[in-house]
A = this chain, B = another copy of it.
């Protein structure tokens, strides 16, 4: 019996991706070699990299005037990469949680940072919507989805400042107008692939406007010029990302997955709101379609509930310590049927203990 994997990341990927990846660890495309022992300069792996980048562009409908590169280091290195490449004198940040806070800290090493809005005083349970951005700011940075607090920007900031977004936890989950952004970055390990690769989408002409002396591995220009091959890339993570993108495209791409993700979110949030034993922790209008955070209204039922979802082969729904309670992370590859199993357990708790 397959486990219902609600892990907040690294997270569930499609079963067919695991099967093909497993085979390629033994013998990649009948080459007689494991994907793990192939040179990154081999024609076989160069084809993987090319296909991965082409699929990113196709699936996200990225315009011609953007470059796509795969790097390493996760969003945490991305916080520094964003600032090194774009912060000349002044940057603006919206603080919506743990990751925004870390991004701000890294940017402050390089220049003036204006936190134009923050939901920190309410434990980041909402997305700020009112703020002013300095006319002379180099960019406005925000985190599109906040895994820990279960909030998500439903619409993006309207500003004349260049937009930079850490989209780690909801990229590929919904339609995004790429042209609104100067740069988007995202750790792979939610909707794209396994840990170890990080995606950057960079508007042509947006680089080269700072005086920072940028370490070469944090400098987007040479990484773009070398087509993600400045040094040895994270071969396997990029390969599995490519397989996941093939799965996404084959099934109908972003319009298909956006609809499915909305169905899953509707299913869980309807139950949270209907069931007297549960309450959501995030502001309703800002609820994340990726991470549903909820609490028991009666903590005394914790042991019963925990046993019930464990028995149902549900894993990974313990909430982050910053919020407590539960967090159902419903990334792209989580089937609707897994959400139904959780909803059924919630109903059963109410029926037997409510």
Residues of chain B within 8 A (CB-CB) of A215 are 77, 80, 84, 106, 109, 218
CB–CB A235/B194 < 8 A: yes
A38 at the interface (CB under 8 A from B): yes
A210 → chain B, closest Cβ, in Å? 14
Tell whether, in the assembled complex, residue A26 and residue B34 are in contact, meaning their CB atoms are under 8 Å apart: no
Q: A254 contacts the other chain (Cβ, under 8 Å)?
A: no
Of the listed residues A11, A13, A76, the one surrounded by the most CB atoms of chain B closer than 10 A to its CB is A76
Q: Is the CB of B196 within 8 A of A237?
A: yes
Query: Is A301 in the interface zone, CB < 8 Å from B?
Result: no
Q: Is the interface of A mostly helix, strand, loop or mixed?
A: loop
Q: Of B25, B79, B218, which is within 8 A of A21 by CB?
A: B25
Q: A106-B215, A232-B195 are in contact. Are A38 and B7 (CB under 8 A)?
A: yes
How many chain A residues touch B (CB < 8 A): the figure is 64
- In the bound complex, residues from chain B placing their C-beta under 8 Å from that of A236 are 194-196, 236-237
Which residues of chain A from 1 to 35 have a CB within 8 Å of any chain B CB? 1-3, 5, 7-13, 18-19, 21-23, 25-26, 31-34
Q: Which residues of B contact A26 (CB under 8 A)?
A: 18-19, 22
Q: Which residues of B contact A39 (CB under 8 A)?
A: 7-11, 316
Shortest distance between the CB of A35 and any CB in chain B (Å): 8
Closest residue to A32 on the B side, CB-wise?
B3
Q: Is A179 an interface residue (CB 8 A)?
A: no
Task: Find out whether the CB atom of A235 lies under 8 angstroms from the CB atom of B195.
Answer: yes
Cβ-closest chain B residue relative to A109: B213
Complex: A109 Cα to B212 Cα, angstroms: 10
Bound-state CA distance A32–B310 (Å) is: 14
- Give residues in A with beta carbon < 8 Å to B: 1-3, 5, 7-13, 18-19, 21-23, 25-26, 31-34, 36-40, 42, 72-77, 79-80, 84, 102, 105-106, 109, 187, 189, 194-197, 213, 215-218, 230-237, 240, 313, 315-316
In the complex, 20 of the A-B residue pairs with CB atoms within 8 angstroms, ordered by the A residue number, are A7-B38, A7-B42, A8-B39, A10-B39, A10-B232, A11-B37, A18-B36, A21-B36, A37-B194, A72-B73, A72-B234, A74-B232, A77-B217, A80-B215, A105-B216, A106-B216, A189-B232, A194-B236, A195-B232, A237-B237
Apart from A76-B216, A196-B234, list 8 A-B contacts with CB within 8 A.
A10-B235, A13-B36, A18-B26, A22-B22, A33-B315, A72-B196, A195-B233, A196-B196
